[in-house]
Structure 1
Amino acid sequence: MNRIATQRAVARPALREAALAVSLAVLAWPALAQDAPKDKSQLDTVTITAERRVENIKDVPNAVSQISGEKLDVLNSSGQDIRFLSGRVPSLNIESSFGRAFPRFYIRGYGNTDFRLNASQPVSLVYDDVVQENPILKGFPAFDLAAIEVVAGPQGTLYGRNTPAGVVKFDSVKPSQRQEGYVNFSYGTYGTMNLEGAANVPLTGEWSARISAQVQHRDDWVKNQAVTGKPGKLEGYDDRAIRIQALYEPHKDFSALFNVHGRDLSGSARLFRSSIIKTGTHDLVDGFDPEKAYTDGVNEQTLHATGGSARLRWGLGAINLYSITGYESVRPFSRGDVDGGYIYGGTKPFTQEGQATFPGESSSSMDGHRQITQEFRVESAAAGPLRWQGGVYFFDERYTARSTDYTTATGLAAGYVDTHQKNTAWATFGSVNYAVTQDFQLRGGLRFTKDKKDVDVTSSYAGLNTSTGVSAKTSDSKWNWDVSGSYALTKNTNLYARVATGFRASSVQGASLFAGQSQASPENVTSYEIGVKSDLWDRRARLSASVFDYTVKDLQLTAVGGQNNANRLLNAKKATGNGVELNLELLPVDQLLITLGGSLNNTKIRDTSLSLPACGGGCTMLDPLVAGSTTNYSINGNSLPNAPKWVGNLTARYSIPTPAGNEFYIYTDWAYRSKVNFFLYEAKEFTGKSLTEGGLRVGYVWNNGKYEAATFVRNITNQIRVTGAIDFNNNTGFINDPRTYGVQFKALF
């Protein structure tokens, strides 16, 4: 038996043992808790729409995590962008080399590190029922939300294309006839300000509206030590977003929900920091100061986004008919000093930081972007053991992405490469739920997808690498399916099993100065999952746990940087992932609420023929050289990039009621991820250390919950880590936010 087969043989018994242990623990818990004193205080019922219907989370045979309410307020209080969700539910990691504008999502270790503006990702983000396909769209701020759901993949039936790793689903608070709203304001370190508010506006008996907005600001807090005439301070931002919704509901059998939204961002691009990683280690250099940087380039970022949707529902007796129309447009610009250091002007400091041997300054922008989506869906509404839904889906996106290089000495553009992309897709889908008995239910789904891309490159450079062409057309089609079953072991405990498939269509990256055009063929994933969901201890505890195993064939990978300074697509023959996930909510006493989540993810690239050149320079390779080669290293057996083996999170809230009926409270939250590889190869310098970030919040609530004042600290231990790197030639990296603290006030009206 070869090494890969041996590892698989060892892993599967381990998964079975883990599944048995989880099941026995859940079965034992009610027995242990049955004598516990009952109390009227209980956990709220959690409903989700992971399968396009409103359901109790316990009844959905899929690993789903939800964040809502106070937890969202706490995590969003310090002005962070969407990356605040990273590690807050099992198996979720989010990182970015673009800062606030371009998040990259990973679920169960499965994602994509590609930083180009036409990159595709295997995690789909759906905001108010409209897919946000381009990675720039996925950074839209989180405010005035009813809930965020993270649904493990594959989701190839109901959500479709580019969902093999899963779906992150945002649902805004909808308009209503109630006259209500809120204002939430916080201010803290580095002049960080977060202002969020919303108001319902009843218009008539049939119309209502809701206006929601968020304004986030941070001062420039990093001082440039290197050169006069360049930006003296960096890392500030102004990020503003608004959403206006109008609901028309003349009677129970028809509703129309209209949504218009926009975002305007200006500030610093991701700050690359030259030579901050100590050679031969993954530690920061001695004396590193996060409030200092050394750069001779321009660092700026702007983003303008607008969009809208119309969601219509008709009740037609035994069926409901839905129409969801969406439009999105985004115009980003991000320019930064890629080498992260300086050559021009000034005197080099007596430190390793800031060193660069040659300049690299570039920008990425997009013009003419527009995305149009349309879905028609019909579902059964009659009572009975059989429920079904089905529909058709259309997608059309087109834009021009421009990459511009600059002469750092003058700051003038040296040339550009334009990638013109058109992407169209259509799909038809259906699913069936059938209650075989009162305790045993089956679900199944089927979807056919047709996906086409048309990519063409133009450039001002005479030296463009045209060796593999400057245009490409792809056309992919795929049937995907899923089957699941759930069994009610007791009225409070469900066991489930699920098998599902998914796919991601072909990807194309256009020619550049450093590399020719590259293309990755479609990838396909098959996943197996078993789990348990239970309300325990008279609903004072809620537990969900799952064990999973997936295989991706023809996995799309992105080789970033390296000795040839190229960014190119390639396919690995196979990648595997398996692990365990756990979510627990607990009310041990009336005033104390604890949530605990965690996951174990084992991911591996399985391709003995796949090798890459060494990193760009100044790093220590850990992979073995390919036999007979002095330049290429095998990446077979490496974990997937940015895929932590362990993820854990904890929150605890303790309340202290006052005689007047008000409340003091203490809230703490913690998130942990183990070490990660930043790239496909393994190198000491480009292995990110484990990261633990915690927060503490102390607050007072009065006047029947109408007002709340609090103080908070984020990253309370001030743990600074390299969270990403640039494979250039000087161990360049970027870091997480240092400790911040502030005050917050919230008022309901």
Structure 2
Amino acid sequence: MKHLKCALLGTSLVAMAVAGQTQAQTITTPAEPQPTLATPVNPAAQSTNTTLTPAQAADDTSTDIVVTANKREQRLNDVGITVAVVSGDALQRQQINSLADLANSTPSLSFTNSANGTPVYTLRGVGFYEVSLGAYPTVSTYVDEAPLAFPVLSSHSAYDLERVEILKGPQGTLFGQNATGGAINYIAAKPTSTLQAGGNVSYGRFNEVIGEAYISGPISSNLQARLSGRVERADGWQVSNSRPNDRNGKVENYMGRLLVDFDPSDRIRFKLNVNGWKDNSETQAPQYIALLPQAPAFLNPALAASPFSPERPRAADWTPGIPRRSNYLGQASLRSEFDVTDSIMLTSLTSYVYYKQRQGDEGDGLPISTLDLANDDGRIRSFNQELRLSNDPSSVFRWVVGGNYERSKVNQRVDLSFRSASANGLYGSFGYPFFSLSYSNDQKFRNYAGFANAEYDIGRLTIKAGGRYTNSRTDASECGFDESGSPINTGPLFYDVLFQGALGRYAGQCYPINNTPNTYNGIPPGGSGRFTDTLKQDNFSWRVGLDYKPVRDVLLYANVAKGYKAGSYPTSSASLFTQYLPVVQESVLAYEAGFKATLLDRTLQFNAAGFYYDYNNKQLRSKLVDPNFGILDTLQNIPKSDVKGFEIEMSIRPTRGFVINNTFTYLDASIKRFSGINAAGVAANFAGADVPYTPRYQFGSNFDYDFPVSSSLKGFVGTSLNFRSKAVATIGGDINPPTATPQNKTIFGIVSYTLVDLRAGIAAPDDRWRVSVWGKNVLNEYYWNNVVAAFDTIGRYAGKPATYGVSVGFRY
């Protein structure tokens, strides 16, 4: 099998010598000049432009990929930044059904699983592994430009899409702080001017059934609507190591979206998007791969006797009843456009998101409980308003000016269970074998910003400049407490043992100790109680650049940008106030230059970009040594780090119906200055260490061939290959904790892997119907994307094994 994978990779590398590019980069000819604001682009027509099948891409000579990376519609080849585009057709063809699938199909984008299922993106080495509900990301996400301010809100956005735009590099000027790595914009398929309907149903391994359908059309002469929905269900794919008949990882998701476009006059347009989802799935269990006891002398016998998990994709274990999820989201956004004059448009974008979480998360990958999140509950309410003025996009001088306001509230409470942890035995010797605790974090966020961006054409040269001022405030209130009512649990341990009765008897108060020199919420140094604090910040993001078009189908560009990510308070099980202290905002100065070229009579698209990111105060989920409980979680700033690399993207159609897309990415992301304790609990000087979750080499190859079978039937075949080199799950991940077992492997390493997908089928010539068979990870590669230390244990999160199935799609 190893030789087969090498052969497949070698074949793709040879193909790359003559071809390649990103999966969605179709080869087409120039679009017509952009319409003025008084004649907006027809959304239905744009949907057609960006959902071409490979055969259509090979044959069509009248359309271009259109993107909104600069908050206006442009040809992709006219946008002077790096943008990866995955079309709605590619999402369906390649069975991209999850955020992990999207990352695997996108160069330089990595997806990291977490215990509570919060998605974590790393783009070009820029990421923030922090799974608290109230933690802003470094790669921000949007649905039709309406922000999903916190990562968990984007869990189920990829359905009935026109395309996905992935903007690489700092996007602070137009998309705000918290986009230091980039931005992901999900573009929903739009209402149509004629009645249309369609759907797709697939059945696969683990009894996976995915059904998706839509209906779209006019309600009146100036009112159009589109209603779509999706259902996902599957049996559990993980197999318990201790209970062979027990399964985990079932899928049960429901999604729906209603879009309404209303044009009451030639100058006024309204676009309403109401959507939501319900997730009743089971959270993933980790594989127990290493032992790291916090109190070795008091190691629980059951834990000492527990074997490590087999290194197979499906192998795992969990405490019965813990992995579960009952979460839902509702979002409404209204886009209003008013043509103030024939050349100036006012745009208002208003959105509100409500999210409720009730779930349980397996922490240690064992049937016993050394660390389980028995309850991980929370709520997010987020309001966003943007107003902007922009002029005619066909003008020589193009500008946009506007402002944003965000107000969010995030509440999270976690109940921990650790009855079998070594700390239980340690304090049991004092008569307090504590077994559970709870902690909470209530945060309020307020952000406002003003921004401006301008472009000016001087012949074939375009000068670009933009800036954004952001002012933000975060109020946090955190508590660790015990509601068990037991006289021997965590709260009584603090009050009876650590404070020796000086604070009286424990009755449910917040017990963490103020070990700082400051007073918080009236709690003096040495006292115990609730931690409250306010973080106020402001910053100025900017971008300047040049675009040069020596000929129509060649673009050269260079940009320099400064971006920021807001500071953050952790949500963690703390015994000391120092664990609650926030990290300050991080900043990045980014340099990028590249080109986009359509060559060889428009049969070859060749793009390349090189970049360098200089980072200050990068935020990191790390550890500290607690005098009472050993190694516990905290947040830290890394003083200096940098990322340098390049991307090559090519696409070719050697014959009619045959499209080859290849990509290659090189990343060198390293820490320049940081001494501390990493997430594995190792204390060291980590200068020169790799940035986590950043493989040095990434290669992607996509082949699609459509061919006629008869006058009424066509066939299609395709394959995708994605290779990622090794990485680490924490800074200094190549160093094992000295007290960990075993020591004969790199515990926090993420090995290199190659994923191969196959697909084939038949369809009507006009794609009115389509039947396909498909396989994902057909070589059953064993791989993982995260390794996490959890008190006494270390676990990894494995990718899914080989899956396969059949899909039937139709539209009329």
Moved more, 377-386 or 316-325: 377-386
Given candidates 324, 328, 333, the residue that maps to 1:300 is 324
CA contact 1:227–1:296 (8 Å) conserved in 2: no
Tell me whether 1:654 sits opposite 2:705 in the alignment. yes
Which residue in 1 is equivalent to 2:714? 663
Which residue in 2 is equivalent to 1:713? 775
Distance in 2, matches of 1:561 and 1:44, equals 56
The RMSD of aligned alpha carbons is 2.6
Given candidates 584, 587, 594, the residue that maps to 1:524 is 587
Cα offset for 1:662?
2.2
Aligned ranges 1:435-446 → 2 under 5 Å:
435-437=457-459, 439-446=460-467
Given candidates 76, 85, 93, the residue that maps to 1:57 is 76
Cα offset for 1:96?
1.5
Which residue in 2 is equivalent to 1:458? 479
Given candidates 517, 521, 544, the residue that maps to 1:483 is 544
Distance in 2, matches of 1:413 and 1:308, equals 42
**Gap change, CA 1:568 and 1:254, over 3 Å in 2:** same
Distance in 2, matches of 1:322 and 1:306, equals 23
Given candidates 562, 565, 568, the residue that maps to 1:507 is 568
Q: Secondary structure at the match of 2:89?
A: helix
Distance in 2, matches of 1:382 and 1:490, equals 20
**Gap change, CA 1:313 and 1:381, over 3 Å in 2:** same
Tell me whether 1:677 sits opposite 2:728 in the alignment. yes
Tell me whether 1:551 sits opposite 2:614 in the alignment. yes
Distance in 2, matches of 1:75 and 1:56, equals 24
CA contact 1:90–1:582 (8 Å) conserved in 2: no
Q: Provide Cα deviations, 1:17-50, integer angstroms capped at 9, x if missing partner.
A: xxxxx9xx99xxxxxxxxxxxx976595111110
CA contact 1:277–1:732 (8 Å) conserved in 2: no
Which residue in 1 is equivalent to 2:636? 570
Moved more, 241-250 or 563-572: 563-572
Cα offset for 1:484?
1.1
CA contact 1:549–1:576 (8 Å) conserved in 2: yes
Cα offset for 1:714?
0.5
Tell me whether 1:272 sits opposite 2:277 in the alignment. no
Q: Secondary structure at the match of 1:226?
A: coil
CA contact 1:226–1:295 (8 Å) conserved in 2: no
User: Counterpart of 2:200 in structure 1: which amino acid?
Assistant: N
**Gap change, CA 1:413 and 1:139, over 3 Å in 2:** farther
Cα offset for 1:289?
4.1
Distance in 2, matches of 1:44 and 1:705, equals 18
Cα offset for 1:329?
0.9
Cα offset for 1:164?
1.0
User: Counterpart of 1:395 in structure 2: which amino acid?
Assistant: E
User: Counterpart of 1:251 in structure 2: which amino acid?
Assistant: S
Distance in 2, matches of 1:323 and 1:315, equals 12
Given candidates 385, 389, 405, the residue that maps to 2:396 is 385
Which residue in 1 is equivalent to 2:129? 113
Point out where structure 2 has 5 or more consecutive residues left out of the alignment: 1-16, 22-57, 293-306, 421-433, 483-490, 495-510, 521-530, 735-745
Distance in 2, matches of 1:378 and 1:198, equals 33
Given candidates 568, 579, 584, the residue that maps to 2:650 is 584
Given candidates 554, 564, 587, the residue that maps to 1:493 is 554
Distance in 1, matches of 2:728 and 2:315, equals 26
**Gap change, CA 1:657 and 1:271, over 3 Å in 2:** same
Given candidates 655, 663, 680, the residue that maps to 1:615 is 680
Q: Secondary structure at the match of 2:206?
A: helix
Tell me whether 1:187 sits opposite 2:203 in the alignment. yes
Q: Secondary structure at the match of 1:86?
A: helix
Distance in 1, matches of 2:259 and 2:571, equals 39
Which residue in 2 is equivalent to 1:599? 665
Tell me whether 1:47 sits opposite 2:66 in the alignment. yes
User: Counterpart of 1:337 in structure 2: which amino acid?
Assistant: E
Aligned ranges 1:167-246 → 2 under 5 Å:
167-226=183-242, 232-246=246-260
User: Counterpart of 2:326 in structure 1: which amino acid?
Assistant: T
Cα offset for 1:295?
2.9
Cα offset for 1:507?
1.1
Distance in 2, matches of 1:185 and 1:598, equals 33
**Gap change, CA 1:172 and 1:382, over 3 Å in 2:** closer
CA contact 1:87–1:647 (8 Å) conserved in 2: no
User: Counterpart of 2:317 in structure 1: which amino acid?
Assistant: Y
Which residue in 2 is equivalent to 1:355? none
**Gap change, CA 1:107 and 1:679, over 3 Å in 2:** same
Q: Provide Cα deviations, 1:698-726, integer angstroms capped at 9, x if missing partner.
A: 11011632010000000011001132122
CA contact 1:483–1:500 (8 Å) conserved in 2: yes
CA contact 1:319–1:382 (8 Å) conserved in 2: no
Q: Secondary structure at the match of 2:289?
A: coil
Which residue in 1 is equivalent to 2:5? none
Distance in 1, matches of 2:177 and 2:733, equals 31
CA contact 2:784–2:797 (8 Å) conserved in 1: yes
CA contact 2:285–2:318 (8 Å) conserved in 1: no
Aligned ranges 1:249-264 → 2 under 5 Å:
249-264=263-278
Cα offset for 1:286?
8.9
Cα offset for 1:498?
0.5
**Gap change, CA 1:273 and 1:472, over 3 Å in 2:** same
**Gap change, CA 1:171 and 1:614, over 3 Å in 2:** closer
Tell me whether 1:143 sits opposite 2:159 in the alignment. yes
Cα offset for 1:313?
0.5
User: Counterpart of 2:84 in structure 1: which amino acid?
Assistant: S
**Gap change, CA 1:286 and 1:169, over 3 Å in 2:** closer
CA contact 1:562–1:613 (8 Å) conserved in 2: no
| Count of residues paired in the alignment | 673
Cα offset for 1:305?
0.6
Which residue in 1 is equivalent to 2:98? 81
Distance in 2, matches of 1:600 and 1:697, equals 28
Q: Secondary structure at the match of 1:507?
A: coil
**Gap change, CA 1:209 and 1:613, over 3 Å in 2:** closer
Q: Provide Cα deviations, 1:302-342, integer angstroms capped at 9, x if missing partner.
A: 21111101000011222001000000011123312312113
User: Counterpart of 2:539 in structure 1: which amino acid?
Assistant: K
Given candidates 315, 333, 336, the residue that maps to 1:309 is 333
Tell me whether 1:748 sits opposite 2:804 in the alignment. no
Q: Secondary structure at the match of 1:330?
A: strand
Which residue in 2 is equivalent to 1:329? 354
Distance in 2, matches of 1:528 and 1:203, equals 49
Q: Secondary structure at the match of 1:274?
A: strand
Cα offset for 1:483?
0.7
Which residue in 2 is equivalent to 1:156? 172
Q: Secondary structure at the match of 1:157?
A: helix
**Gap change, CA 1:738 and 1:227, over 3 Å in 2:** closer
CA contact 1:88–1:648 (8 Å) conserved in 2: no
CA contact 2:480–2:574 (8 Å) conserved in 1: no
Q: Secondary structure at the match of 1:723?
A: strand
CA contact 2:287–2:309 (8 Å) conserved in 1: no
Tell me whether 1:471 sits opposite 2:532 in the alignment. yes
Which residue in 1 is equivalent to 2:409? 398
Cα offset for 1:301?
1.7
Identical pairs, percent:
22
Distance in 2, matches of 1:511 and 1:654, equals 51
CA contact 1:117–1:366 (8 Å) conserved in 2: no
Tell me whether 1:131 sits opposite 2:142 in the alignment. no
Distance in 2, matches of 1:511 and 1:181, equals 47
Moved more, 39-48 or 676-685: 39-48
**Gap change, CA 1:252 and 1:649, over 3 Å in 2:** farther
Tell me whether 1:422 sits opposite 2:444 in the alignment. yes
Q: Secondary structure at the match of 1:520?
A: coil
CA contact 2:141–2:151 (8 Å) conserved in 1: no
Cα offset for 1:171?
0.6
Normalising by structure 2, we get a TM-score of: 0.79
**Gap change, CA 1:43 and 1:76, over 3 Å in 2:** farther
Cα offset for 1:118?
1.9
Distance in 2, matches of 1:276 and 1:712, equals 36
Cα offset for 1:222?
2.7
